[in-house]
Amino acid sequence: MAPMIQDNVEVNPANNHTTKPKPYTKLEETKLQDIASKKLINYGTKFERDIIVRSSGLYVYSAAGHKVLDWTSGQMSCLVGHGHPEVVKTIADHAANLDHLFSGMLSPPVLSLADRLTSVLPDGLDKAFFLSTGGESNEAAIKMAKVYTGKFEVVGLGASWHGMTAQALGAQYHFGRKGQGPVMPGMHMLPPPNTYRSIFRNSDGSYDWEKELDYGWDLIDRASCGSLAACIVECIQSSAGMHVLPTGYLKALKKHCEQRGMLLIVDEAQTGIGRCGDLFASVNFEGVVPDILTLSKTLGNGIPLSAVVTSNEIERVCSERDYCFYTTHVNDPLPAAVGDKVLEIVLRDNLVENSRLRGSQLRDGLLKLQQKYGCIGDVRGRGLMCGVEIVGDQKAKSPAIALARQIADKMYELGLWANLSSHSSFGGVFRIAPPIVITAQEIQDGLEIMQEAFRTTEGTMPLTT
């Protein structure tokens, strides 16, 4: 008997099991766009025109049949690729048998993930709990720091992105602060560490981040009411345009925090679980153990999952002081099982090393492209997180957002997606963060598409033929 179609899936009548997704080949893209314009609320982004109907491995596919190499891992999240068979099986198994529980109930996936995660972290990152989004985990971490220290002021970095909940947004200085009245009280900002554009320079023209950091803390000390609780930071400011913290910056930041009795929260939503060529950017590359570590995006491979990890001592004190972050989906078994599987795959398949090797290949290719086109002002990044900044003048470093959009459109037409935003603090930078299962050939394929996009877009200022 032939399979029958039911609700966009094919069902085998012999065993009533789903066999594969129903293809969307008959959908009219113009009709879908009409629905989008009439029925969807705009939440702060311009919707892309294509309707994506399938994703697999390193690729996404539109309703019109356009195949695109996904160099942003969805929303920087699909660490081991779209539809990884082991992740798919984990989701299916737990959807059928152990999906969601009362928040006070424990389950093996949650315990296994907590054990596996803390076992690859150093002493001082001893206990974890699990939530749904990066904003939620940062909100929980900031509240934890306030409860532990008994203070309320929080320091963030300029151009940072930590989420859209109240305290996370209060420490965020990239986008989304306008239109809602006052943010949380006691929020302070350090200057954004921007090696390419900072005005703080040594006599030889190199970036003097130490003077900039000391200057920022001097301003905060003057503004503070004496209740500094925490500083929250990303190791790579991705939303700001892939700005990497200078070597030594995080250690210096930790010292500043210790001198003021503050906790250091490191947000590794994008840098964690191998993306940067190290399992964790703060611990494994910078050699800094945060007081609180938050994870999200990469941990769930696109499934809503985040984590808060801290020390035995901080957990003990917060527990004694009735710390509460009780949510509907705290420690849910299904997403925890996915996170446990993702971490297992990354460690088992040596994907951290693959991220390091393929990241080196990617950066070499982007630097060669920079030598050919004067519109590429800067190439930066670490591992498989890279930024390519488009400028209208090399010396003045003037942003060329319109040109960047033309290049992005051509890249997409040729089959490559790399995120570009026009926000003023972003400056027309391509953010590149492919799944860390990417192969050498897939890196090469993407670089060739980029080369063709630059070659065929007017105004890219070719330097060589």
> Quick one: CA dihedral 238, 241, 246, 252, positive or negative?
negative
Quick count: other Cβ atoms within 10 Å of Cβ 119?
9
Active site residue 139: no
- Exposed, middle or buried, 197 (CB in 10 Å: 0-12/13-18/19+)? middle
Tokens of 107: 């389950």
The amino acid that residue 332 corresponds to is D
Active site residue 201: no
Nearest to 342 by CA among 301, 391, 304, 390: 301
Tokens of 174: 């990239």
Active site residue 267: yes
Catalytic residue among 297, 380, 382, 410: 297
> Quick one: CA dihedral 259, 260, 263, 265, positive or negative?
negative
| Residue 294 Cα distances to 18, 73, 458, angstroms | 36, 19, 43
Catalytic residue among 50, 267, 268, 278: 267
DSSP secondary structure of 128-175: EEEES-HHHHHHHHHHHHHHHHS--EEEEEBT----SSHHHHHT-BSS
| Residue 334 Cα distances to 80, 116, 339, angstroms | 18, 16, 9
Backbone φ and ψ for 155, nearest 5 degrees, come out as -105, 135
**Who contacts 123 (Cβ-Cβ below 8 Å, separation ≥6)?**
289
Active site residue 297: yes
| Residue 375 Cα distances to 170, 203, 372, angstroms | 35, 27, 9
Are 127 and 315 contacting, i.e. CB atoms less than 8 angstroms apart? yes
Catalytic residue among 70, 151, 161, 380: 161
- Paired residues of 292 in beta bridges: 265, 310
Active site residue 167: no
Please report which residue ranges of 323-439 form alpha helices under DSSP H.
333-348, 351-370, 401-414
Distance between CA atoms of residues 307 and 311, nearest Å: 14
Helix (H, G, I), strand (E, B) or coil at 7: coil
Helix (H, G, I), strand (E, B) or coil at 35: helix
Distance between CA atoms of residues 358 and 282, nearest Å: 20
Active site residue 33: no
Catalytic residue among 136, 139, 234, 378: 234
Strands 416-417 and 385-393, bridge-based pairing: unpaired
Q: What are the catalytic residues?
A: 161, 234, 267, 270, 297, 431
